[in-house]
Chains A and B, each alone.
Chain A
Amino acid sequence: MHRESRSSPSELQLLLLRFLLVQHRWAVVGGWRDEIRRRASQRGLTAEQRLEAGGPRRRRLEAGDQRGRAATPGAGQAHHGGAESRTAGCRQTGKAHTEATKQQEVKLPTDSPQNQSTWRHPRRGNNAALPSPALMAPPSPPPATTLFKHLVLLFLLAAAAGASAAAPEEEFTEELLLRPLPDRKALAHFYFRSSTPPAASIGRHHHLFPKAISQLVKKYHISELELSFTQGRWNYEQWGGFDPMSTSNAKPPGVELWAVFDLPLSEIDATWKNLTHTLSGLFCASINFLESSTSFSAPRWGFKSNEGNLRYGALPREAVCTENLTPWLKLLPCRDKAGIASLLYRPSIYKGYYYSQKLKLRSSQSLGIILDQTLTVVLQPNTINGKQLHSSHGQLQPSWSMRHLFNRKLSGKCLVSKSSRVFIEVDKGIVDKINRSGSDLSWNNEFFVLSNGPDRLIKDLINLEVQSSSIYEYDVSNYSEEKPFDVGITWKLPLIWSCTPSPFHVSRFLMGSGNERGSIALSFISTNLHKKIFGSPNDCSIKAFIFQIVPWYVKVYYHSLEIFIDGNRKTVSDVVDKIHVTPSEDKLLPGTLEMLLRFPCSMQSATLTLDFDKGFLLIDEYPPDANQGFDIPSALISFPEFNSARNFPETDPLLGSPLLENFQVVVKSYTEVLLVPLTTPDFSMPYNVITFTCTILALYFGSLLNALRRRIGEEERELKKTVVIVKKRSLLASICYRKFVDELF
């Protein structure tokens, strides 16, 4: 057995063991209970006897559990807060208990056969091994229960030891990056990574990894998925457009979802629809609106190159709030009860300027599933002296600390996390100034001072890369409830700096007036970044991908594409390298535009325009606030030649840092969401329109048929009458009237 072979399990393993025990306590007891009930019913025991048989055993296990919880306070409370309340209920009847266990569905797959076999051979199991001291049972228990408990503990120990020795484990890391921004704001970027090894080695059961996600991945065969909820717009000019933080975490307002499926192409659309419904339920958002074929598209290369198995959809008007955050937090092992996530105090984070919560999944046979949850907020720090300074010129930047940003202090890490760290990043602009001033980059320098001394200073390598910030690292595991962690920055000298922009500032706007037609314009304004990076060769060119989805009621005429470079009109083929258009179909497909442009380096500005006609919708298709207008989702511009990769050679090689290693992305930026007003019909008119139109139709039908049907005899009589009228003028008026009536009907 494994237990004997491993003479001294390390402290980490012991901790894990305890955790495992806590995790599976009720599963195990449930398993017992089932077993006992089965056996008891075979032996003809009454329900009361059965309950008594189970009673002392459970109480003892609880004692052991209490000890385990004392050792791991944060984890126990946060993760199993629910279990405790269940315990109280379960004490009442065995039946309720088993039900609760079933609901939780955390039974070990190999649990019951093992139990059964040990039940059949009690002697052999009894002298196998002693339980560990922490889990030691109180003296003089009834022999059968002791035996059983020991066996289970033994099994658990063996399983845990085996798992720690062989297969890779499920891991969880939590990180937070704080960064002062040039416009007196502060950026906070939370990063949580949960990973689980490939399914074969671990079965259906998970310790840390959220089960909902793994089920989702397995059911829909997702190989990649990203879902973001964003409120507010990323300010590319002030907050940076080149560094990895902005390129991977600046997201379009509302909800954006894309997924790559590992499925035959014919099944993907149906799977996507199911996926949207599942996510909608999981995140309490109307993602299911992406189900309709008018709202998602299958980009080929403009968004991300793929073999037709990618689907992309966006809901620009989706409001994001706490009801989306809570389910997102539920996926974390400690939720927001402990660890870095406990900083997410709702009133603080939702009053920020930008809020984006993202969930990214990667799954493969070799990697298992990696779930990255990030939350990016831009906050206005409550300055320590209480007054807000608005002009940045010649004034000190606001000093802030975590407590000021979030109204919370960090009391230790989430205990199940592998690493828990906080970074403070200072921009290249600041680093340059510090270097220029001659002082060193310590945490207490000429310009600012950090409230705590960092555990490590990570410098970005400057070779070839533009951005070279430096990062101060803090390990949260050194702090606890008694000694909460709070780090802040206090400025000593006024400092003005700017973030590195993306190669082009891209903005999108509407042109034209009236409700019949208009144009969409995309404007690129060069920031001359390429000169800083590549020097300034004159004959070079910069590539840019454009990806844009347009709803069907904005009927874009792609042949009307016009390109102006520095104000001069260019032929399309001069600038467009590659273009792929999926034209929209009324009420069926949105239009998708993918373009690869090649701009000359000397270019300062470029504008692309596309004409469109506004569609007219059915009265039922208008949203309740029809006069507000309709949103066109953001376009995505990416610059494949600019890679915002950064190297952090001083990162801890043992632990690694998902947050920092993730800093490897192509530079891209999203444009604004466009608001297109559409003409509305009169919403109160249906009955009138139906009656008017039908009246006219009836008039036409009736009178024409009448004209055709009029018989000859009738007409002759009428003619005679006319002759009579000529003679008898006194009757003229009445005849005229009759004739008029005849004509009319």
Chain B
Amino acid sequence: MAIRYYWLMVAAAVGFRLVLVLFGGDLHLASRPEVSTPLTSLRRLAEGYWLKQASMSPYSDLVANMLLFIADFLAAMLIRGTGHRLQMSRNRSLKSLDLTKAVNNSGLAPLAAFGYVMATHLSLYPAILIVPVILLLGYGPDAPPTKVFLVKSSSDSKSGMSEYERTSLKVQRFSWMTVLHFIFWLFIWSCYVLLLSSMILKKVGGLNEMFEKTYGFILTVKDLSPNIGVLWYFFAEVFDFFRTFFLIVFNMNILFMVLPLAIRLKHRPCFLAFVYTAIVAMLKSYPSAGDSALYLGLLGLFANELAEMQFTFFLFFGYIGVSLLSPVMHNLWIWRGTGNANFYFATGLAYTCLQTVLVVESVGSMIKHDRKLRLLVTS
């Protein structure tokens, strides 16, 4: 189905980016809490690069690290000239799309493995995407549940369809070979990346320091500067003796839902990937607007399946409201000193709420959609 005014919209989007690049200087987008987190800040990258040039340990400055440098370099190569604002998020989105598209098109396991390893290496959270990737390789792209096919095939055999149609509807088997191929390449690529990192960092601290200062920094929420999430304020306020407990709880919460979702949605790996990215964007330690951009972009892929989703009006205007209010509250608190941290935290809370509703609603309606398919097939 062709979208009307497609090229017009593309041109408008590119134009908007250009406007931001050219006239966005006054907005200080590079240091806005919405788009720049401690992990993705360009200033910290520059500082890390400067320290590296001066041959000091880049990890001394906690967050400005080599990995970011590589990431930004790649991003720059990929989307040269598009400016600062969505560099990191786009980088990620490109990667993830690469990852899924590459597999979609030709089952290029090595490339998928490379994309996966790099994404994990850069920001840790994509690690859970291994589940949808394996499912995707095993079962192929999104399809209605196997039960539907079974029912269909049985009904077809009754009605006596042609042999060709029957094979096309045949239940897909889990293709172990592709998955093993992927895991093999996954292993090779991760060894390769770790080896390269250790070679680069040999003089200034080694791999241990890298893990400690990158993944450790992500998992222990050490930087308490405000962002659009809720965890920064939570960990700034929480009593010190509860800190470890809550760190475990929040990090485990991302993992808790991986298995139930994978069981229930195993026939829809792409949608599973979308749900995972949404959950990660909601619960990660340093969220930014780029994370939401990724899953909101992916949301469009399931327009047909999620057509019956509820609360869309509420969600749409909720997102708009939060994105308008959040900068205002931030300004009042940080710059004018008339507001207070609670106001800004409240917008973060509302934002998390919205994301929760979005995830729950989309999963619910996807399941409902599958049910409807089955009902349609059986009836």
Instruction: Known contacts A557-B46, A616-B226, A617-B224; decide if A708 and B236 are in contact (CB<8 Å).
Output: no
**B240 contacts the other chain (CB 8 A):** yes
Residue pair A697, B360 in contact (C-beta under 8 Å): no
A582 in contact (CB, < 8 A): yes
Most B CB within 10 A of own CB, among A514, A679, A680, A689: A689
Docked CA distance A604–B49 (Å): 33
Asked if B31 contacts A516 (CB within 8 A), the reply is: yes
8 Å CB contact of B43 from A557, A689, A712: A557
When the two chains form their complex, are residues A700 and B282 in contact, meaning their CB atoms are under 8 A apart? Answer: yes
- Which residue in B43, B62, B360 is a CB contact (below 8 Å) of A586? B62
Per the 8 Å Cβ criterion, residues 4-47 of B in contact with A are 31, 43, 46-47
- 8 Å CB interface, A650-686 against B: 679-682, 685-686
State whether the Cβ of B264 lies closer than 8 Å to any Cβ in chain A.
yes
In this assembly, does B256 line the interface, its C-beta being within 8 Å of a C-beta of chain A?
A: yes
With contacts A707-B367, A710-B367 taken as known, whether A689 is within 8 angstroms of B233 at the C-beta atoms is: yes
State which of B232, B310, B341 has its C-beta within 8 Å of the C-beta of A743.
B310
Identity of the chain B residue whose Cβ is nearest the Cβ of A561 in the assembled complex:
B50
| Selected interface stretch from B67-75, B150-158, B289-297, B329-337 | B329-337
Q: Does A533 contact B (CB under 8 A)?
A: no
Cβ proximity bits B347-377 to A, threshold 8 Å, 1 near / 0 not: 0010011001001100110011001000100
Q: What residue of chain A has the Cβ atom nearest to residue B343's Cβ?
A: A682
Residues of B within 8 A of A685 (CB): 237, 341-342
Judged by a CB distance under 8 angstroms, whether B244 is at the interface is no
A696 touches B230 (CB 8 A): yes
B-side interface size class: 35 or more
Q: Are A583 and B236 in contact (CB under 8 A)?
A: no
Q: B238 and A686: CB pair below 8 A?
A: yes
B352 to chain A, nearest CB (A): 5
Of the listed residues B62, B223, B226, B261, the one surrounded by the most CB atoms of chain A closer than 10 A to its CB is: B62
Q: From known contacts A616-B236, A690-B238, infer whether A704 and B257 are also in contact, taking CB-CB under 8 Å.
A: yes
Q: State the main secondary structure of chain B at its contact with A.
A: helix
Q: Is residue B172 within 8 Å, beta carbon to beta carbon, of the partner chain? A: no
A743→B363 CA distance, assembly (Å): 12
A449 shortest CB reach to chain B, Å: 58
Whether the pair B60, A681 counts as a contact (CB closer than 8 A) is no
> B340 in the interface, Cβ–Cβ < 8 Å?
yes
Answer yes or no: B308 CB below 8 A from chain A CBs.
no
- Fill in one digit per residue for B309-337: 1 if any A CB lies within 8 Å of its CB, else 0: 01100000000000000000000011111
Bound together, the chains give a CA A667 to CA B335 distance in angstroms of 40
Instruction: Say if the beta carbon of B81 comes within 8 Å of chain A.
Output: no
B170 at the interface (CB under 8 A from A): no
Q: Which of B236, B256, B257 neighbours the largest number of chain A CB atoms within 10 Å of its CB? A: B236
Contact residues in B for A559 (Cβ distance below 8 Å): 46-47, 49-50
Select B353's contact among A582, A617, A696, A708, beta carbons within 8 Å: A696
Instruction: Assess whether A737 is interfacial by the CB under 8 Å rule.
Output: no
Contact with A along B230-249 (1 / 0, CB 8 A): 11111111111010000001
CB-defined contacts of A589 to chain B, threshold 8 Å: 60
Q: Are B253 and A697 in contact (CB under 8 A)?
A: yes
Q: Which of A584, A585, A689, A697 interacts with B237 by CB under 8 Å? A: A689
What B residues does A613 contact at CB under 8 A?
31, 43, 225
Q: Is the CB of B333 within 8 A of A679?
A: yes
Question: In the complex the two chains form, is A615's CB within 8 Å of B47's CB?
Answer: no
Q: Which residues of A contact B (CB under 8 A)?
A: 513-517, 557-560, 579, 581-587, 589, 613, 615-620, 679-682, 685-686, 689-690, 692-693, 696-697, 699-701, 703-705, 707-708, 710, 712, 715, 719, 743
Known: A693-B234, A696-B356, A708-B261. 7 other contacts (CB 8 A): A513-B335, A557-B46, A583-B47, A585-B60, A616-B232, A707-B364, A707-B367
Which 5 pairs, one residue from A and one from B, show the smallest C-beta to C-beta distance? A559-B50, A514-B335, A707-B364, A616-B224, A700-B356
8 contacts between A and B (CB under 8 A): A514-B334, A559-B50, A582-B60, A613-B225, A618-B224, A697-B249, A697-B250, A743-B364
